[in-house]
């Protein structure tokens, strides 16, 4: 999304537990509005999920960004206000993830009226939680509802991914897709858009550790290079297949064995001090598996049951603090989580 200024502390050492409603399987977000403004919420997401670099992701309930879209007489998109970013994000509509995504939708639909965007950042920047994707997704959902476009999810995702391209230089959808669709998804293709919804075992829960650090996605992608050794690629393919099979079969042991990253984690782990200690603590505490969330610094651990996830989250937080002296918060969430949605007008009063 374009960061400026020095890194800042992101959070205090606390643990948050979120019980998410089950995600709904809908193909469009149909809201026809006569209101002058619409607010949409888009959740955080865990991408890659260890073995699924750029193709796997799931939504995290309760954490996310809000965008309010307002009709304007002038054509085009304008960034009106941004809060929660400490003044670090660009107001230039050509450089902001939310406005670029909104513009892609408006231009694609040839909407005659214009829109101004108010972005409320609930997610920390460069956190590994899909911050830029949440902004882009909330923007397209709000604009779609404002003009009553009834655009299919595939179209909304394609526009959100254009916003992601501005943020990190690559049109990947493993954050935007789960943030929009909800639940656990596989991005089979982005050209054309082909998103596969995956089942989630009922007891599957997640602990996410959010350190007070930042890792910019562009920098984290740069350390990967542009080639993968054949042996690592074969291991990765095997684990993706095993993870998908484990989700379908409610096989927690298979899910755990599949949560290994032979492609990104070996290169990115050094960007996150304390990651190895937190991961070891998660596994010792009974997690099925643990890895970086996206490019980090956030890290996730999948667990069987929310009680186990709470134990794992506390162990990760304590190990990380002991190793680095840096504070972090642990977020405990049940899965699957719902995707982006329009907020009722009464909730915004």
* Residue-wise pLDDT tens digits, 37-83: 999 999 999 999 999 999 999 999 989 999 999 999 888 999 999 99
Mean pLDDT for the stretch of residues 261-275 = 92
pLDDT of residue 10: 36
pLDDT value at 132 more than 50: yes
Does the pLDDT value for residue 331 go beyond 60? yes
Place 4 in a pLDDT band, splitting at 50, 70 and 90.
very low
Q: What is the pLDDT of residue 15?
A: 53
- For 22-199, the fitting CATH number among 3.60.20.30, 3.30.230.10, 3.30.9.10, 3.40.50.300 is 3.30.230.10
DSSP output for 281-326? HHHHTT-SEEEESTTSS-EEEEEESHHHHHHHHHHHHHHHHHHH--
Residue 30 pLDDT: 47
Say what the pTM is.
Answer: 0.88
Mean pLDDT of 217-225: 76
Going by pLDDT thresholds of 50, 70 and 90, the confidence category of residue 34 is low
User: What mean pLDDT, rounded, does the chain reach?
Assistant: 89
Rounded to 10 degrees, what is the CA torsion of 44, 47, 50, 55? 150
Which pLDDT does position 14 carry in this prediction? 45
Q: Look at residue 18 and tell me whether its pLDDT is greater than 80.
A: no
pLDDT the model gives residue 337: 96
Lowest mean pLDDT among 105-114, 249-258, 333-342: 105-114
State the fold for domain 204-334: Alpha-Beta Plaits (3.30.70)
Evaluated on CA atoms 48, 195, 140, 334, the torsion sign reads negative
How open is the CA angle 2-73-40, to the nearest 5 degrees? 50
**What confidence score (pLDDT) does residue 22 get?**
41
Model confidence pLDDT, tens digit, residues 141-169: 999 999 999 999 999 999 999 998 887 77
Question: What number is the average pLDDT over the span 338-344?
Answer: 95
3-state secondary structure 11-34: CCCCEEEECCCCCCCCCECCCCCC
Query: 246 pLDDT exceeds 50?
Result: yes
Name, in order, each residue with C-beta under 8 angstroms of 93's C-beta and a sequence gap of 6 or more. 76, 77, 78, 79, 99, 100, 103, 117
Task: Find the range with the poorest average confidence among 40-54, 173-187, 264-278.
Answer: 264-278
Peptide bond into 284 cis (omega under 30): no
Q: Which residue ranges does the chain devote to CATH 3.30.230.10?
A: 22-199
Residue 116, token pair as written in the block: 């101004």
Q: For the segment 85-102, what is each residue's pLDDT rounded down to a tens digit?
A: 889 999 999 999 999 999
Least confident of 101-110, 200-209, 301-310: 101-110
What gap in Å lies between CA 146 and CA 32, rounded to an integer? Answer: 7
What stretch(es) of the chain map to CATH 3.30.70.890?
204-334
For residue 152, what is the DSSP state? B
């Amino acid at each position: 999304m374009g960061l400026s200024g020095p890194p800042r502390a992101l959070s205090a050492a606390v643990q948050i537990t979120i019980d998410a409603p089950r995600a709904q399987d809908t193909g469009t977000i149909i809201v026809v509005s006569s209101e002058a403004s619409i607010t949409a919420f888009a959740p955080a997401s865990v991408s890659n999920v260890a073995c699924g670099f750029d193709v796997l992701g799931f939504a995290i309930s309760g954490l996310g960004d809000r965008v309010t879209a307002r009709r304007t007489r002038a054509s085009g998109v304008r960034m009106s206000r941004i809060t929660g970013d400490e003044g670090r994000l660009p107001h230039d509509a050509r450089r902001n993830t939310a406005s670029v995504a909104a513009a892609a939708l408006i231009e694609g639909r040839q909407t005659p009226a214009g829109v101004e965007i108010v972005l409320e950042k609930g997610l920390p920047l460069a956190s590994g939680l899909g911050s830029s994707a949440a902004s882009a997704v909330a923007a397209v959902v709000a604009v779609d509802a404002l003009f009553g476009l009834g655009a299919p999810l595939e179209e909304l995702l394609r526009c959100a991914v254009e916003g992601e391209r501005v943020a990190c230089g690559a049109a990947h959808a493993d954050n935007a897709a789960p943030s929009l669709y909800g639940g656990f998804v596989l991005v089979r293709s982005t050209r054309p858009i082909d998103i596969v919804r995956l089942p989630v075992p009922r007891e599957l829960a997640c602990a996410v550790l959010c350190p007070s650090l930042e890792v910019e996605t562009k920098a984290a992608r740069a350390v990967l290079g542009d080639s993968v050794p054949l042996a690592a690629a074969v291991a990765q393919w095997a684990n993706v297949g095993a993870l998908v099979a484990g989700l379908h079969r409610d096989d927690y042991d298979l899910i755990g064995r599949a949560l290994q990253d032979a492609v990104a984690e070996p290169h990115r782990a050094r960007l996150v001090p304390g990651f190895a200690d937190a991961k070891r603590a998660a596994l010792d505490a009974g997690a099925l598996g643990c890895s970086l969330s996206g490019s980090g610094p956030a890290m996730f651990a999948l667990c069987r049951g929310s009680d186990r996830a709470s134990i794992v989250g506390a162990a990760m937080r304590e190990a990380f603090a002991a190793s680095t002296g840096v504070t972090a918060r642990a977020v405990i969430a049940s899965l699957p989580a719902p995707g982006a949605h329009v907020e009722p007008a009464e909730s915004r009063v």
